[in-house]
Amino acid sequence: MDGRERASPDADDGSALQRAFRRSDLTVEQLWMRYFALGGDADLIDVDAQLAGLRSLPEGQRDVLALAVNERLDELVSRQRAPYSRRIRQGRPATGPLAALVQLLDAVGSAPPEQLAGLAASAGRALGVEVALHLVDHAQRRLVRLPDGPGPAASSLGVDSTLAGRAFRSVRILSSDRDGQPRLWVPVLDGADRLGVLEVRLGDPADLYDPALREQCQWLAALLGHLVASMGPYGDLLERARRCRPLSPSAELIWQQLPALTAATRDFVLAGMLEPCYDVGGDAYDYALSERTVSVAIFDAVGHGIRAGLLAAATLAGYRSARRDGRSVYAQSSAIDDVVSATFRDSAFVTGVLAELDVASGRLRYINAGHPPPLLLRGGRVVKELAGGRRVPFGVECAGLTVGEEFLEPGDWLALYTDGITEARDAAGTWFGEARLVDFLTREIAAGHPPPETVRRLGRAVLDHQGGLLQDDASILLARWTRGGPRLTAVR
């Protein structure tokens, strides 16, 4: 030691703050106003004393004061930059809603999935709110809060019994001020697929009805929806949070093959459901949307467990290979036959329906391979079964194949389902039955429920009818053709 007394860190910080303040071209009063707007709570006299070196504010308050000075210095630097010959685009924003979204995008590029909730919370703070991300479980009965750091086990909220669940079901922002804590519940979507809700906690009840803040929270929720969908395959935490119990190996296989539960374009909305979701074996569905055509398919592979799952996965592969090659439904049917018969040589077969809609005309062409006939609903009522295009199940030698045809009208609904829906039995042995299915769909459409919510409720109804334990897979693919409807920002 040389015997000289070293200056304390606080003294160094204070003198640096004083020098920065002198460069800011602000009066003490102007700086205090900026400091106060950022959340500083020291009065004008204390700030003046800090700048004069007469006292030291608490560490957190010095940081707020430093932020106010630095924001001013950033403004001055931007004014002194050399001019361009033309107007240039604005660079990276430092504050505001766009800054929050950019911050989130930058951070997730190198973050594992388990950090998403914490990064969402940071983005929320940049908006001036506190947020928590809740994802829906596979059965679509609970909304599970993702932990944003180390702590207790995640909590959950009922989809059918809470305001958060109502926001999820209705795809609308809902507000509450219960227990003196103002909150917004914002649906989290990946396109049209409902993934959960964003809980937004506000500091002022007046913010509940701020339209700009609602819109900004909706932007954040939309970005989080895309991130949940894209980051999920890179780790297990997001998937694990959505499981109330383990998936069977066959269910694990099937869920990895399926597209999102819900998809939509301007002209078409469809939604699928598989039950029992944690133990599904041989049921599967698929679809492809484009500007000109919509292709849909549903399959039911013979048997149970992993063997049925493998058969269903092979069927999906054969179907997609032919469809993506631009082949007709007739050729798609033949391709599935080839895959099933060549891969499973012990009398394995798959029932199913393939359909393709021409969006401009409403012309629907379809093939039914030993499957329950699709239902056509018009004006909220079932008007017919599509009984054409019949053939034997896929994998069985087929001759004399024909393609069914129907012309849909705008507003028509189409229901493709497996026999596990109608053959679910209650304790007395009574089937759920086609009549009950028709009545259910009629009531749900009359109530104004869109396809995603209708299939969610149907899955619950079928499970409840059989006491929560299905003996066979029960699946449905429900579609609505609107032609020329309004652009969809949420599925209604």
d(CA 255, CA 130): 33
How confident is the model over 228-249, as a mean pLDDT? 90
Q: Which CATH class is domain 97-238?
A: alpha beta
DSSP one-letter string for 77-124? HHHTSPPPSS-----S-SSSHHHHHHHHHHHHTT--GGGHHHHHHHHH
Q: What is the pLDDT of residue 83?
A: 66
How far does the chain reach from its first CA to its final CA, in angstroms? 75
Q: What is the pLDDT of residue 109?
A: 83
Q: What is the pLDDT of residue 154?
A: 65
- Interval 346-356: pLDDT, tens: 778 999 999 99
Q: What is the pLDDT of residue 456?
A: 94
- Interval 359-413: pLDDT, tens: 989 999 999 999 999 999 999 899 999 999 999 999 988 777 889 999 999 999 9
- How many percent of the chain have pLDDT more than 70? 91
pLDDT at 482 over 90: no
pLDDT at 338 over 50: yes
pLDDT band at 6; cut points 50, 70, 90: very low
pLDDT at 41 over 70: yes
d(CA 466, CA 477): 20
Max avg pLDDT among 52-66, 185-199, 412-426: 185-199
Residue 206 per-residue DSSP state: G
- Interval 177-215: pLDDT, tens: 887 899 999 999 999 999 999 999 999 888 888 889 999
Residues 6+ apart with CB under 8 A from 249: 305, 306, 309
Q: What is the mean pLDDT of the chain?
A: 88
Q: What is the pLDDT of residue 8?
A: 43
Question: For the chain, which residues make up each domain, given as ranges?
Answer: 9-75, 97-238, 247-481
pLDDT at 3 over 70: no
- How many percent of the chain have pLDDT more than 90? 57
Q: What is the pLDDT of residue 396?
A: 87
* Phi/psi at 279 (5° precision): -145, 25
| Cα atoms found within 13 Å of the Cα of residue 282, Cβ hemisphere only | 19
Q: What is the pLDDT of residue 7?
A: 37
- Give yes or no on whether 97-238 and 247-481 have one common fold: no
* Phi/psi at 153 (5° precision): -60, 150
> Which one, of 179, 119, 189, 172, lies nearest residue 147 by Cα?
119
Looking at per-residue confidence, does 288 or 484 come out higher?
288
Burial of 233 (0-12, 13-18, 19+ CB in 10 A): exposed
pLDDT band at 325; cut points 50, 70, 90: very high
How confident is the model over 468-486, as a mean pLDDT? 79
- The encoded tokens of residue 425 equal 């039995």
How confident is the model over 4-12, as a mean pLDDT? 43
Q: Which CATH class is domain 247-481?
A: alpha beta
- Interval 101-140: pLDDT, tens: 888 888 888 889 989 999 999 999 989 999 999 999 999 9
b/e for 472-482, b at 16 or more Cβ within 10 A?
bbbbbbbbbbb
